[in-house]
Structure 1
Amino acid sequence: MKVLFAGTPSVAVPSLDVLVSGGFDVVAVLTRPDAPIGRKRVLTPSPVAVRAAELGIPVIKADRIDDDARAAISEVNPDVAAIVAYGAIIPPAALAIPKHGWINLHFSLLPAWRGAAPVQHSVINGDDVTGASTFLLEAGLDTGPVYGVMTESILPTDTSTVLLDRLSHSGAVLLAQTLTGIESGMVAAVPQSGEITLAPKLGLEDGHIDWSRPAHGIDRRVRGVTSEPGAWTVLAGQRFKVGPVALRPDIESLAPGRLLFEPKAVLVGTGSHAVQLGEVQPAGKKAMKAVDWARGLATKEDVVFE
């Protein structure tokens, strides 16, 4: 079975590797064009494009499926397209090219968390379990019938980055199994059922910490936005980045946003009990441990996060 693989970020690379190592005939890779990276804005190919080049697979670069991209896809004549975080809508004309359609690997248990940021929303929401689903892509947003699912526990310390990395590897196996089942005719897609929740893309403001919220909610939000778009607060009028925190239920009297400096810890008050800061990044400085940042303060009195 000839496979077109569509993907862009690093979380899509394990799926490409599993398909190739599993003996699938990956005839081409569809990915987003080179993008400017870093302070010097150097045009850099996507992680999937880099891996495809290493594997010797032809690459189609397109930020949208226009006539040229559609022609390039038609030329390789895939039996099926496997898509993992490609980053653009596949129009109906392109959906119809492979005879088995486009099989999307989505990192949630559909219909939960349809959208661009399923893992982040799952962590923020405090879910105990998430997973991945393979489904037949159609015009709606993650609405197509499901071929297969796998589950993954969310650990109390998981950031969205760590959890997504685990899902990218276990989901890759699910994708390969799904394609094998489609090729053999042993699997069939079934309509989605259950409660629908949406997971829109997160922006900068989604990382702004509201210290009046309960500690557990703050912990989940910080982990959910780590590492993108990142958690932050305001200190002395400047943005102050915050890494994952630890719960300190033994400290209940600290006002929301107020800092307490212990010999080996920096605590912040919340709407319930305190949390302990781990890594922080003050404006204009590199990331560092909170206790190291605290040593450099001129005064430790009346320090409050906004």
Structure 2
Amino acid sequence: MKLVFAGTPQAAVPALRALIDSSRHEVAAVVTRPDAPAGRGRRLVRSPVGALADEHGIEVLTPQRVRDPEFLARLTEIGPDCCPVVAYGALLPQRALDIPRHGWVNLHFSLLPAWRGAAPVQAAVRAGDEITGASTFRIVRELDAGPVFGVITEAIKPRDTAGELLDRLAVSGAGLLVSTLDGIEDGTLRAVDQPAEGISYAGKVTVDDARVDFTEPAFAVDRLVRAVTPDPGAWTEFRGERLKLGPVEPVSGERLAAGEIRVERRQVLVGTATDPVRLGQVQAQGKKQMAATDWARGSRIAPGERVR
């Protein structure tokens, strides 16, 4: 089939690479978000998906809005049979949905109808789910509500961060997307409507959402930190300045007040509503990331000081 692939971040790269390597499908063009400023120099940088397309000499389309007439005209001119989508980052108007004869097929990193929305992997980790996965479905106007072609499952490990889990799903999901498109081309695969029960939503995670509340139980603190690692990154405040936190680990032991810091020879503990958590890597404002023990030693933390 002739394809136009839509995607933007690194998580979409394995799927695009798998389609490029497929002998059955031709990636005629790629749709990705416009180049964005990055780094200290704020230079415009191509998205990971756009960069891979450039490497393979594939046409890259970067519309400011998917409803732009120029973009829709070019898409119509290309005439794709199907448009696979992985984390593109913009809603598609009906005019765009109507162009490919087999529609737009989305690879979504959850077991639909659970965790529809922008951040399904983060939501699954924060909720303490033991199993998640990926689904391929036909895009319709309603958010992530289209009929499902196929699913794969993935166990969530006890210490998984959202980033680690997403990396695994991106690879296994790429295989699912290729097999879905194979089945659509063969006429052997039919989409099945999602059940009306079990629907949940995972909205975009903001920096404010990533602030750690140490009045929560240890398990909730642990899940939140892992859910927002690496993006947007967990944080708290110490002495009025932001302190970024890598994954923490609940430990059994003497209770501490919520946010209270205890510096020991080989570990730094912080109190929660239940057991304390052990800090791992931290990054103080204006500093490099370092082990919590090194940070505590340099900060000369007094007994009873807290993060907030």
Q: How far apart in 2 are the matches of 1:87 and 1:197?
A: 19
In structure 2, the partner of 1:58 is 59
Residue equivalent to 1:184:
186
In 2, the alpha carbon distance for the partners of 1:149 and 1:253 equals 43
- Looking at structure 1, the residues matched to 175 and 63 of structure 2 have their Cα atoms a distance apart, in angstroms, of 26
Q: 1:153 aligns with which of 152, 155, 171?
A: 155
Matched position secondary structure for 2:52: helix
**Structure 2 match to 1:86:** 88
Post-superposition CA distance 1:237-281 (Å, at most 9, x none): 1111111001101x2421110011111100001000011000001
Percent of paired sites with the same residue: 52
Contact 1:33–1:63 under 8 Å retained in 2: yes
Note the alpha carbon deviations across 1:2-49, whole angstroms, 9 max, x for none. Answer: 011001111101001101111211111111110001222110010011
Pairwise CA distance, 1:301: 2.0
Looking at structure 2, the residues matched to 52 and 191 of structure 1 have their Cα atoms a distance apart, in angstroms, of 33
Determine whether 1:234 maps to 2:237.
yes
Q: Secondary structure at the match of 2:178?
A: helix
Structure 1 segment 1-306 matched on structure 2, within 5 A? 1-23=1-23, 24-65=25-66, 66-193=68-195, 194-249=197-252, 251-306=253-308
**2:277 is aligned with what amino acid?**
V
- CA deviation map 1:173-206 (0-9, x unaligned): 0000000000001110000013100000011111
Counterpart AA for 1:54 = E
TM-score in terms of structure 2 length: 0.97
Amino acid aligned to 2:232: P
| Contact kept? 1:252, 1:272, Cα under 8 Å | no
- 1:246 corresponds to which letter in structure 2? E
CA distance in 2, matches of 1:297, 1:78: 59
Distance 1:301 1:142 in 2: 50
Q: Deviations over 1:61-100 (max 9, x none)?
A: 1132111111111111100000001111110001000000
Q: Distance in 2 between matches of 1:45 and 1:225?
A: 24
8 Å CA contact 1:53–1:59 kept in 2: the answer is yes
User: Could you say what the CA RMSD is over the residues aligned between the two structures, in angstroms?
Assistant: 0.9
Aligned partners of 1:18 and 1:234: how far apart in 2?
Answer: 43
| SS of 2:201 mapped into structure 1 | coil
Q: Distance in 2 between matches of 1:42 and 1:100?
A: 38
SS of aligned partner of 2:116: coil
Moved over 4 A (4+): none
Structure 1 spans left out of the alignment, 5+ residues = none
The DSSP-based 3-state class of the residue aligned with 1:296 is: helix
Partner of 1:74, secondary structure, is helix
CA distance in 1, matches of 2:213, 2:21: 46
CA contact (8 A) 1:117 1:202 kept: yes
Hey, what's the Cα distance between the residues in 1 that align with 2:64 and 2:158? 37
Q: How many residues align?
A: 305
Secondary structure, in 3 states, of the residue corresponding to 2:299? coil
Q: Bigger CA drift: 94-103 or 23-32?
A: 23-32
TM-score under structure 1 length normalisation: 0.98
